[in-house]
A and B are shown apart, each in its own frame.
Chain A
Amino acid sequence: MTEHYHPRVKQLMDGELSLSELPPELRAEGEAALRWLATVDRTPIVLSSNLDERVMAKVRSRLPARTRVLDLRRRIRPWVLGAVAAAAAVLLMTLPRESRVRVPVVAIARAPVHVRFVLYAPGAGRVAVAGTFNQWNADAAPLAPTRRPGLWTATLPLSPGQHQYAFLVDGRRWVSDPTAPTVDDGFGRRNSVVAVNPQTERGRGL
């Protein structure tokens, strides 16, 4: 059976009341609470000195931050892609694992367009957006709170084209964007859709 602290004691623990402002019958409870609160460990933690090196080693083994990977789907006919993939797959299988080289495919892709995602989710502890633009990785694009309580937002660069996405609230609830068109995701929920059109100087062709 949980014994609850008196609400005024909780205010004391929050630092919003002082002991002397507590009614006398609550002072003992208040003192006991403050005593264990004071022993909470606040020593700063210093992590291993080689953490920095380990992080930079991983960072350097990745492609440069600005490399743009060409979206091959839009450039190469399917049968070419299939033939190359098949050839590569054969080669992959015959070469020992160690000799597989990660080769950057560099191209000048169309410039990304910044898209702002907004969700009104009062009471949420954290919100992220995941979609086809970030491999549905819910850890990749957290939303940040705004001045308006309950309003979350993130601005992401998306390549021109069609993207599907959804919000993940508190790490467990998938929510579609109430302001966007939705389609069946095939898993019993709905994904939101955003179409990003490239910014062009003069008018635009479809």
Chain B
Amino acid sequence: MGSEQTRSDGEIVRSVLAGDIDHYGLLVRRYSDRYARYAAAMLGSRDAAEDAVQDALVRAYDQLAQCRDPENFAGWFFLILRNRCFAEHRRQQSQARSMETRDEAIAGPERADSAVEVAELRQTIGRALQLLTPEQREVFVLKHVEELSYEDIAARIGASVASLKMRMHRAYDRLRDELKELA
């Protein structure tokens, strides 16, 4: 178990490509939850996120020989998952989706009014997020859920900081509109 922690992603990738299929499990364990929150926020449900992460991990295996920088498996895998999320969104466009809400664990036998308010607001924001364009939703999620800086987001997905801010600022306005409508 100790050695599992100390092997770098690059070492594992090379080992898998050399024929050691089981080692891919190490990467799966490392990354199966890493971007789950991002996927769930992008797709609006935990189930959809689980499907997307599973598909992306398998696809990353299939394309492993094309990972040009094995030490940055994380960034490459993120892009594969990201593409999968965008593809899923296109598929979902024509289908009615029920909005899933995440369970809120609110402590105490009596819920304070403010806690209920917060829970409802969270649900509303979640619904509103799904009404943004994927690109707007993504920059919002990466900045306000994953808490990355604009520079980090730019490095991860490409796009200039200026265009990211433009998307984000449109998202702020749309969210404000939706919060008024849906609340």
Contacts and interface: CB of A to CB of B under 8 A. Distances in A.
In-complex A–B contact (CB below 8 Å): yes
A152 B68 CA distance: 13
Contacts of A60: 21
A55 interface: yes
Contact of A41 (B28, B58, B126, B155): B126
B92 interface: no
B3 to A, nearest CB: 18
A123 interface: yes
A176 B24 CA distance: 35
Given A142-B80, A157-B66, A43 B172 contact: no
B16 A145 contact: no
Interface string B161-183: 00101001100111011010000
Nearest to A4: B173
Interface residues on B, range: 35 or more
B168 A14 contact: yes
Interface in A29-80: 33, 36-37, 39-48, 51-52, 54-56, 58-60, 62, 64-66
A163 interface: no
Interface residues of A, number: 57
A133 to B, nearest CB: 10
Nearest to B146: A42
A127 interface: yes
A14 B165 contact: yes
B21 A154 contact: no
B12 interface: no
B107 to A, nearest CB: 14
Nearest to B158: A145
A96 interface: no
A110 interface: no
B159 A125 contact: yes
A3 B174 CA distance: 9
Contact of B32 (A55, A124, A126, A141): A55
A156 B66 contact: yes
A196 interface: no
A31 to B, nearest CB: 14
B100 interface: no
B75 A45 contact: no
Given A45-B46, A145-B157, A10 B169 contact: yes
A47 B49 contact: yes
Nearest to A56: B25
Contact of B36 (A42, A45, A152): A45
B160 A149 contact: yes
Nearest to B83: A139
A60 to B, nearest CB: 6
User: 10 tightest A-B contacts by CB?
Assistant: A145-B158, A45-B36, A142-B79, A155-B68, A149-B160, A55-B57, A45-B37, A139-B83, A125-B135, A58-B58
Interface of A: 2-5, 7, 10, 13-14, 33, 36-37, 39-48, 51-52, 54-56, 58-60, 62, 64-66, 122-128, 138-145, 149-150, 152, 154-157, 170-171
Given A46-B36, A59-B61, A156-B66, 4 more contacts: A39-B121, A52-B25, A52-B28, A126-B158
